[in-house]
A = this chain, B = another copy of it.
Amino acid sequence: MLLNSDTRDKTMPYCYEYPRPAVTVDVIAFTVREGRLQVLLVQRERPPFAGAWALPGGFVGMEEPLEAAAARELAEETGVEGAYLEQLYTYGAPDRDPRGRVITVAYFALIPADAPVRAEGGDDAAQARWFPINALPDLAFDHAEIIAYALRRLRYKLEYTAVGFQLLPETFTLSELQRVYEIILGESLDKRNFRRRILKADIIEPLDAFRTGEGRPARLYRYKPDAVAEVKARRLFP
């Protein structure tokens, strides 16, 4: 079998002459809206699984880094750029796609609550929608498994890392931050302990501004600009 032979650099004596799997990226985009953790899904238009919901994703360009492909797919589907992206896992069971061998590199993304997301039918023909994590439709391929794992990892990261900020606007109140944690972890937290822990971590700083609403106005915070770099440094996944 001689395939892909025209993409081969003839000066390099190595055996590239085999059929290759297709490589895709899939993105698990999380956001917190309407008090719930939600995941972005798109409706498939073509078989297999036509009409079913699936993770946004697509083929990796031949000159495109993997994370760039994930960022591109996310941007195409939602218009969101610059979101937090992290490689999750690579799924490659031979039968995971009925069309043939497709290996997919899954990324998870955190979308700030105030990001203007163009969903509900983006310019890509496919319809895109947010679904609450506990009310997912039937999913194509092995995407249910992928989402379940992404959720585990998100919860886990939330406990030892400062990644929760990525789901909030640039400035936020401590109560808003706590609510995000509670929604994702699925349990309620003690206000005083939460504030103490977060402040001791020394990754957010108070601003001279307040959010006004019902009740006493709440001080606004932002994460320290250099804490962003630190979150990356602490990452266990490069």
Instruction: Give A residues with C-beta under 8 Å from B.
Output: 3-4, 6-9, 12-14, 16, 18-23, 46-48, 59-60, 62-66, 87, 89-90, 92-94, 98-101, 103, 105, 145, 149, 152-153, 156, 236-238
User: B99 contacts A8, CB within 8 Å?
Assistant: yes
- Which B residues lie within 8 Å of A7 (CB)? 3, 19, 100
The distance in angstroms between the C-alpha atoms of A59 and B66, with both chains bound, is 18
Closest CB of chain B to A140's CB: distance in Å?
A: 12
Q: Which residue of B lies closest to A18 (CB)?
A: B59
User: B13 contacts A100, CB within 8 Å?
Assistant: no
User: A8 contacts B100, CB within 8 Å?
Assistant: yes
- Which B residues lie within 8 Å of A21 (CB)? 20, 23, 60, 62
- Which B residues lie within 8 Å of A23 (CB)? 20-21, 23, 92, 103
Number of this chain's copies in the assembly equals 2
- Which B residues lie within 8 Å of A238 (CB)? 89, 145, 149
The distance in angstroms between the C-alpha atoms of A12 and B100, with both chains bound, is 10
Provide 6 A-B residue pairs closer than 8 Å at the C-beta atoms, listed in order of the A residue: A3-B4, A16-B22, A18-B59, A20-B21, A20-B22, A20-B23
The distance in angstroms between the C-alpha atoms of A101 and B99, with both chains bound, is 22
- Which B residues lie within 8 Å of A105 (CB)? 90, 92, 103
The distance in angstroms between the C-alpha atoms of A47 and B14, with both chains bound, is 8
Q: A103 contacts which of B16, B66, B237 (Cβ < 8 Å)?
A: B66
A62-B19, A66-B92, A105-B92 given; A12·B99 CB < 8 A: yes
The distance in angstroms between the C-alpha atoms of A19 and B59, with both chains bound, is 10
The distance in angstroms between the C-alpha atoms of A7 and B22, with both chains bound, is 11
- Which B residues lie within 8 Å of A101 (CB)? 62-63
